[in-house]
Amino acid sequence: MQSLMAGQICAELVDLVSLAERVISGEEIEITESIEVNGVDVLIIFSGLKEFILTIEGSKEDMSIILRSSIIPDLAITLPTPVYVNLGKPVIMEDLC
pLDDT digits (tens, 9 = 90+) for 7-40: 999 999 999 999 999 888 888 888 889 999 998 9
Q: Is the distance from CB of 43 to CB of 34 less than 8 angstroms?
A: yes
Query: Any idea what the Cα angle at residue 86 is, between residues 52 and 13, rounded to 5°?
Result: 30
pLDDT, mean of residues 77-94: 64
The domain ranges of the chain are: 6-91
**Tens-place pLDDT, residues 37-54:** 998 999 999 888 899 999
The predicted model scores a pTM of: 0.76
Q: Other CB atoms closer than 10 Å to residue 27's CB: what's the count?
A: 12
The pLDDT assigned to 88 comes to 61
Q: How confident is residue 94, by pLDDT bands cut at 50, 70 and 90?
A: very low
